Chains A and B, each alone.
Chain A
Amino acid sequence: MGILKEITSVIKDKAKDEILLYIKKLQEENEKKEDVEKAEEVSQQKTPVVEENVIEKEPEVLIPEQKKEEFLPRICKEDIYKVNIKITGNKIPVDIDFTDSLQQLSEEELAFYLKIYFYSFTQKKNFGYVGKTLRKKLRISDEEHDEFIAKMEKLEQRGLLITEEVSQTQTVYVLYMPYDEEIMEKVAGTTPKMKERPASKSSDKSGNHSPGRPETGMDDDALMKAYNTFVSLEIDKAKMRVGRSNFDRIYMEAVKYIDKRYGFQILSNNEKMKEYLTQYYVSAFDIPSFEEWKRGNGKR
């Protein structure tokens, strides 16, 4: 019995040793596998980093190219005036010499210029606010706003349009049109101030000032013209503020009032009608009178 016990204990000890050795081997093998996997992972991680760097490099090359300002030569060196257009009939006149110089524009610029040109004839004036109404009338969606501004800037570089900030939120544009005294009438006799931009600036002429603002040294006639511009802009603002339908109602009341107050014949007299209608709007929209405007330096 004693011998048997000894034999079994020896066998157990050997088996233990064998098992321990086997376990050690397994552990070593596992460690080796893990090391190999880690090495593979590291190598895999390194590869996309290299690829990302390549991807990042592409825009680094492209961005400066996109930002490069394209030089657009001026095709029109004449001053741009605000004009009211008086046309009879349904035809829009186009100056042949001017169309020849328009050929220098790219297709995109030409299309955009013509859009505003045609719109000016329907509006019977070559100026207005740069805003939602203009985009809506030109069938330009909100999403295309940045593109719209970029196109305006291009036309500005070409000398075919000027924009002017009248307040922090409002900008007015004036489109160049070959002046035709038969159908056009200059407004207030001034060229609006150009927006400050780095390139393609022509030297401002002495006649430049903000429309609707009194300036020192203005004679009475010029002051009155500036005041009329101011009133016109204020009425345009009021129109946008109250909305088209409300403004139509106000116009209806104005016509009825003028009929009662000044008589029916005034309605047929364009000049008088315009005058009384303007007076009505000045009163209805609390627009400062000429004297108040002069004292207040044209500010609202």
Chain B
Amino acid sequence: MEEKIYLKSVNDIDIKLLFCKSNFQWKLLAEKYEEARKRVEDYYGDNIPESITAALETLRAHLVEKKAELPEQDLLV
């Protein structure tokens, strides 16, 4: 049951990512991803179910891709 709840929370972030249009929105979703990952780690410790690990990895890859699609950050100067 918990596994399904955690999976859903990760998938929800993935879906919201589809509608992300700015770096600000992206940052909020990245924070949610970090929170979700931390909760999973706190709950399962070293024995995280494979389905959740795979979902987290996919979400991270999608976040990185989305970040690269968004307008470029201002540089140093």
- A complexed with B: yes
B interface majority secondary structure: helix
Contact present for B74 and A124 (CB under 8 Å): yes
> Taking CB as reference atom, which chain B residue is nearest A233?
B77
* Secondary structure class of chain A's binding surface, majority of residues: helix
Residue of chain A at shortest CB distance from B31: A268
Return the contact of B76 from the options A231, A259, A264 (Cβ within 8 A): A231
Tell me which residues across on chain B come within 8 A of A253, comparing CB atoms: 68
- Taking CB atoms, residues of chain A closer than 8 Å to B33 are 264
* CB-defined contacts of B31 to chain A, threshold 8 Å: 268
A275 and B74 CA atoms in complex are apart in Å by 10
Q: Is A195 an interface position by the 8 A CB rule? A: no
CA distance A55 to B48 in the complex (A): 93
Q: Determine whether the beta carbon of A268 is less than 8 Å from that of B30.
A: yes
**Contact across chains for A278 and B68 when beta carbons are under 8 A apart:** no
A80 to B69, CA, bound (A): 34
A251 interface contact, C-beta 8 A: yes
Q: A75 contacts the other chain (Cβ, under 8 Å)? A: no
Given contacts A251-B68, A252-B68, A259-B64, contact A274 B30 (CB under 8 A): no
Q: Give the residues from 265 to 291 in chain A that come closer than 8 angstroms, CB to CB, to chain B.
A: 265, 267-268, 270, 273-275, 277-278, 281
**Cβ A267 vs Cβ B74 within 8 A:** no
Q: How many residues of A contact B (CB 8 A)?
A: 28
- Residue total for B at the interface (Cβ-Cβ under 8 A): 18
Is A210 in the interface zone, CB < 8 Å from B?
Answer: no
Q: A264-B30, A267-B30, A268-B30 are in contact. Are A255 and B68 (CB under 8 A)?
A: yes
Instruction: Say yes or no for B16: interface residue by CB 8 A criterion.
Output: no
Flag whether B27 is at the interface (Cβ < 8 A). Answer: yes
Q: Cβ of B77 and Cβ of A188 under 8 Å apart?
A: yes
B27 contact set on A, CB distance < 8 A: 268
Most buried by A among B65, B68, B73: B68
A61 to B29 Cα, complex, angstroms:
71
Show 28 residue pairs from A and B whose CB-CB distance is below 8 angstroms, ordered by the A residue.
Answer: A84-B77, A187-B77, A228-B76, A228-B77, A229-B77, A231-B77, A232-B75, A232-B76, A235-B75, A253-B68, A255-B67, A255-B68, A256-B64, A256-B68, A264-B30, A264-B60, A264-B63, A265-B34, A267-B30, A268-B30, A268-B31, A270-B73, A274-B73, A274-B74, A277-B72, A277-B73, A278-B75, A281-B75
Interface residues of B (CB under 8 A from A): 27, 30-31, 33-34, 60, 63-65, 67-69, 72-77
A residues lining the B interface (CB < 8 Å): 84, 124, 187-188, 225, 228-229, 231-232, 235, 251-256, 259, 264-265, 267-268, 270, 273-275, 277-278, 281
